[in-house]
Amino acid sequence: MSRLQQVTVLGATGSVGLSTLDVIARHPERYQVFALTGFSRLSELLALCVRHVPRYAVVPEAVAARGLQDDLRAAGLSTQVLVGEAGLCQVSADPEVDTVVAAIVGAAGLRPTLAAVDAGKKILLANKEALVMSGALFMQAVRKSGAVLLPLDSEHNAIFQCMPGDFARGLSQVGVRRILLTASGGPFRQTPLAELEHVSPDQACAHPNWSMGRKISVDSASMMNKGLELIEACWLFDARPDQVEVVIHPQSVIHSLVDYVDGSVLAQLGNPDMRTPIANALAWPERIDSGVAPLDLFAIARLDFEAPDEQRFPCLRLAREAAEAGNSAPAMLNAANEVAVAAFLERRIRFPEIASIIEDVLSREPVVAVNELSAVFEADTKARALTEQWLSRNAR
Ligand code: NDP
Ligand code: MG
């Protein structure tokens, strides 16, 4: 490798951000941190800057920026602090940057991720909400700029690894029959339905196999995460929703599979640790050590599979319907979900109400075409407003 790859980590203080920095720190001969961004955990961001010495750090507002800038100077660092969405877009598009890790959670990640796409970067995408919201426009922008889009989501990274190199020619052209998207089923796979009314945010966030941020943990408990991933898979691999089948696999050892017309089914296996897909995408097409322990098949002993129960997990049905409707529907679904999950985490609603709210919001608005980004944000804003109205009508 001729020179160090310059990496921007959007959402560095989060779960995926920290796993990324762990892998990067194992390979100082390959990677240099160019920029780190945080939102609320700013003392953690300071510590990460001291550890990785980036050129830039980005925080949401000016007062926090001044505080962090003073602390960085006191620590003897020349890291420059930038502010807000403009700062995020700047460190995504800077000509010196090679790779952008998109690991901000939710719709807030869309514009900075698109800035990296438009600048033709190598993008490691964890922020599935960005792609769900704006799929067609996002993929058009990737094709136009020649950006290299690599999935970090463990399932999509697995599918990517099981696809032939020329899958962009079309799934039928390369002999793929369907994608089998695995799901653990989350912490409530076997909880009696009546008890779901009373589950707490901490119970929802106690994922059996993965350690993740709170929003995606609730999404995993409701299986909205798998619904968002279904939409994500359709865009990444140019698949129709009926070509993606969700399979519950409670051990989370098989991270997804690709079924070919000749009957071959290729799977990617590994311990459930995000450092594997991160290392795979960072080094692609090479392979590097990720720090993940080798898989011990004797300790795992068995792999189970079952069909998802859409009565237990209505969010999965809602996401599939949004995938089929296309246009503004996925952006509305995503926005209603973000607001509903935040309300659940604040104990303003019960767990099953997440799905009820989303269904109610989606039924109130017709699906409209989204030919430009402003239409995506309009759909997002409308769904957030409708969800807030539901919350105030049904205030506890
Ligand atoms: P976390 O909540 O742990 O981290 C989110 C990151 O985004 C933090 O750095 C946070 O900053 C930052 N952030 C939050 N809100 C904003 C905002 N409004 N503007 C700018 N930055 C913001 O989430 P995860 O790391 O778990 O997930 C990140 C993304 O990756 C999500 O889209 C998720 O779906 C996806 N993903 C995560 C996986 C996982 O294993 N965790 C697996 C697959 C996908 P701060 O912490 O300082 O507030
Ligand atoms: Mg996933």
Q: What is the pLDDT of residues 372-387, one digit of tens each?
A: 999 999 999 999 999 9
The closest alpha carbon to 84, from 143, 50, 39, 36, belongs to 39
CA of 275 to the centre of ligand 2 (A): 13
Residue 322 has pLDDT above 80, yes or no: yes
State yes or no: 338 annotated in a binding site: no
CA of 325 to the centre of ligand 2 (A): 23
State yes or no: 381 annotated in a binding site: no
The model's confidence at residue 210, banded by pLDDT at 50, 70 and 90, is confident
pLDDT for 385 equals 98
Q: How many CB atoms lie within 10 A of CB 69?
A: 17
Q: Which residues line ligand 1 (CB under 6 A)?
A: 11-17, 38-41, 103-105, 108, 126-129, 153, 210, 212-213, 215-216, 274
pLDDT for 92 equals 99
What's the mean pLDDT when you consider all of the chain? 97
State yes or no: 19 annotated in a binding site: no
Q: Kindly report, residue by residue over 232-259, the tens digit of the pLDDT.
A: 999 999 999 999 999 999 999 999 999 9
Residues with Cβ within 8 Å of residue 134, at least 6 apart in sequence: 110, 114, 331, 370, 373, 376
CA of 255 to the centre of ligand 1 (A): 20
Residue 150: helix, strand or coil by DSSP? Answer: strand
State yes or no: 14 annotated in a binding site: yes
The residue assigned the tokens 């961001």 is: 45
Q: Kindly report, residue by residue over 7-46, the tens digit of the pLDDT.
A: 999 999 999 999 999 999 999 999 999 999 999 999 999 9
Q: The pTM is what?
A: 0.98
Residue 189 has pLDDT above 70, yes or no: yes
Distance CA 335, CA 327 (A): 14
**Which ligand 1 atom is nearest residue 130's CA?**
32
State yes or no: 134 annotated in a binding site: no
Q: Which 8-state DSSP code applies to residue 14?
A: S
Q: Which of 105, 207, 276, when mutated, tests ligand 1's pocket best, judged by the most ligand atoms within 8 Å of its CB?
A: 105
Phi and psi torsions of 61, nearest 5°: -150, 170
Distance CA 308, CA 65 (A): 46
Segment 272-292 shows an average pLDDT of 98
Read off the tokens for 354. 């997440």
Q: Kindly report, residue by residue over 57-112, the tens digit of the pLDDT.
A: 999 999 999 999 999 999 999 999 999 999 999 999 999 999 999 999 999 999 99
Distances (CA, A) of 332 to 173, 283, 362: 33, 35, 7
| Domains, the chain | 5-151 (3.40.50.720), 154-271+297-318 (no CATH), 326-396 (1.10.1740.10)
The closest alpha carbon to 9, from 118, 168, 126, belongs to 126
The ligand that comes nearest to the alpha carbon of residue 133 is 1
Distance CA 394, CA 348 (A): 9
pLDDT for 114 equals 98
CA of 270 to the centre of ligand 2 (A): 13
Distance CA 257, CA 269 (A): 9
Distances (CA, A) of 135 to 76, 139, 370, 372: 43, 6, 10, 11
The ligand that comes nearest to the alpha carbon of residue 155 is 2
Q: Tell me the Ramachandran region of residue 35: left when phi exceeds 0, alpha when psi lies from -120 to 50, beta otherwise.
A: beta
Phi and psi torsions of 81, nearest 5°: -95, 125
**Which ligand 1 atom is nearest residue 225's CA?**
34
The model's confidence at residue 2, banded by pLDDT at 50, 70 and 90, is low
CA of 171 to the centre of ligand 1 (A): 31
